[in-house]
Amino acid sequence: MVRMENVTKVYDSSGTVALDSISLDIEEGEFVFLMGPSGSGKTTIVKLITGEIKANSGKVIVNDFDLTKIRRGKLPKMRRTLGVVFQDYRLIEDMTVYDNVAFAMRVVGAPGREIAKRVPYVLDLVGLEGRERRLPRELSGGEQQRVAIARALVNSPRMIIADEPTGNLDPVRSLELMLLLEKINEMGTTVVVVTHEKDLVDALGRRVITIDNGKVMSDGMDGVYSYEIE
């Protein structure tokens, strides 16, 4: 879940007001699109949720952690409840598919036996069975993004947040990836997808929050949005 109340974020370096007293609520188990043109503040919202940056004012609560008050030492604990997916996949180039996913478990100290059980299961779930031994560069873009999703999923997070996950994919792969995220959502994980692609949003017919200039412009269910981007 995410709860943002009157959150303002100003980047010191440029003086840009990226978010202007924004408020939004995402409940446990929801599937939500965050839509808005480039530069509207979407990634800033993602970074506030992951704790990478701090808000200038307002309240940010993620999976019951109050990020405006959280101590630095507690951040790892909060992050273990989150799975993050980026447009550029961010896989480790010299690790196999299997190791890229297992890495996420190893670095939080998961026992070897659990890793050996969980990684194949998750790779199966995202449709990568048989690709375990490949290196990222030996995969298509869509497959690489599935590895990233598997890695985000492997520690059983409460919420997955994907920042333009289909930005580098063609329309067919994009839709496949959305259907995968829907499947993951149906299994009980909250899913937040950041995108500026209207077609995808229209195709899935889910809750859509539109953002522009650091403000919420509309928030509607079943693919309804009253604000036109571009």
Partner 1 sequence: MGYTAMRLSRGGYLIREGFRSIKTHSFMSFATVTIIMACLIIMGSISLLSLNIDALIDDLENQNEMVAYVDEKLSEEQARELEQKLLSLDNVQDVEFVTRKEAMDNYFSKFDDYVKEGIDEEVFRHRYVIHLVDIAFMADTKAQLENIEGVGDVLAHQDYADAFVTIRNIVSIVSLVLTVILVFVSIFIMTNTIKLATFGRREEIGIMKMVGATNAFIRLPFIVEGMVLGILGGGLGYLVQWGLYSLLAGRLMGTLTGSFITLVPFSTVALPLLIIYLGLGVFVGVFGALNAIRNYLKV
Ligand X SMILES: Nc1ncnc2c1ncn2[C@@H]1O[C@H](COP(=O)(O)OP(=O)(O)O)[C@@H](O)[C@H]1O
Q: Is position 180 an interface residue for partner 1 (rule: CB under 8 A)?
A: no
Q: Which is nearer to ligand X, 87 or 155 (CB)?
A: 87
Q: In what order do the strands lie in the sheet with 17-26?
A: 17-26, 2-10, 57-62, 65-66
Site string for ligand X, 1-30 (x = CB under 6 A): ----------x-xx-x-x------------
Among 7, 41, 178, 207, binds ligand X (CB under 6 A): 41
Q: Is position 75 an interface residue for partner 1 (rule: CB under 8 A)?
A: yes
- Min dist CB 79 to partner 1, Å, is 4
Amino acid identity of residue 125, one-letter, is L
Q: Is position 43 an interface residue for Mg ion (rule: CB under 5 A)?
A: yes
Instruction: Enumerate residues 6+ apart whose C-beta is below 8 A from 78.
Output: 51, 62, 63, 65, 67, 70
Please choose which of Mg ion, partner 1, ligand X, none residue 112 contacts, taking the beta carbon within 5 to 8 angstroms, the exact cut-off set by kind.
partner 1
Q: How far is residue 156's CA from residue 60's CA, in Å, rounded to a whole number?
A: 22
- Min dist CB 14 to Mg ion, Å, is 15
Please spell the DSSP secondary structure of 156-220, one letter per residue: --SEEEEESTTTTS-HHHHHHHHHHHHHHHHTT-EEEEEE--HHHHHHHT-EEEEEETTEEEEEE
Please give the residue ranges that form the binding site for partner 1 (CB under 8 A).
50-53, 72-73, 75-80, 82, 84, 90, 92, 103-104, 106-109, 111-112, 151, 155
